[in-house]
Amino acid sequence: MIELIPAIDIIGGKCVRLSQGDYASQKVYNEHPLEVARMLEDGGIRRLHVVDLDGAASHHIVNYKVLEEIATRTSLVVDFGGGLKTDEDLRIAFESGARMVTGGSIAVKNPEVFSRWIATYGAERIILGADAKDKRIAVNGWKEDSALDLFEFIDGYRRQSITQVICTDIRRDGMLQGPAVDLYREILDRDPELHLIASGGVSGMDDIYRLEEAGVPGVIFGKALYEGRITLDLLRPLLDA
């Protein structure tokens, strides 16, 4: 059964969504992320993906107080990303209640540090963020492209025991035009044991069922939930399975 992981993206302490990572496109959905987290928990959600968009832009953790509030006042398993660049950022994230953290830019720009995090905390707590445009890795809040091939990037960290990868197709993120199912199939054909979490483009329940049929282990979704295209009632059969 596919793992359902709603996303809460934070700017200025508020729950927002972007389109294709463009900060100028931000739309505020709720000024109190804890309210959103509690609603999701009450609806049967067990895991939450929290992204510190201010942190991603500032290159250091910013919205850790929001993380702490969600982690201490709900029972949700929170994975946290955005702006984690140093050991101090990581310490703050874990002390603020993150059960897992996602590293993307750090894994590209400072692989020695990211590799040390994997060795120190274990693959169960460190997730690789593989954000891609045209199968090339992008970094720094998606504002900067790299020359790294998506598949080689994932393969390299798999050899270091990474087990979970969140792969976001940037062109689809926040666009409600459907996920990159063929891309995820290609990744899993190369590595069937990978716990791949699809992110970007989910527009409704049909997309989630398509990902499940393709064998994708997990899915992150945000805008479709906040726009009412996905509801907790519609998710209930998958949550109860």
Active site residues: 9, 131
Q: Among 120, 117, 144, which Cα is nearest to 132's?
A: 144
d(Cα 232, Cα 21) in Å, to the nearest integer? 25
d(Cα 179, Cα 181) in Å, to the nearest integer? 6
Cβ 59 vs Cβ 18: under 8 Å: no
Question: Where are the alpha helices (H) located in the chain, listed in sequence order?
Answer: 33-42, 53-58, 64-73, 87-95, 105-109, 111-121, 150-158, 181-190, 205-213, 223-226, 232-240
d(Cα 79, Cα 75) in Å, to the nearest integer? 13
Cβ 83 vs Cβ 60: under 8 Å: yes
d(Cα 47, Cα 75) in Å, to the nearest integer? 9
d(Cα 201, Cα 17) in Å, to the nearest integer? 12
Q: Among 86, 39, 81, which Cα is nearest to 63's?
A: 81
Residue 141 is classified by DSSP as: T
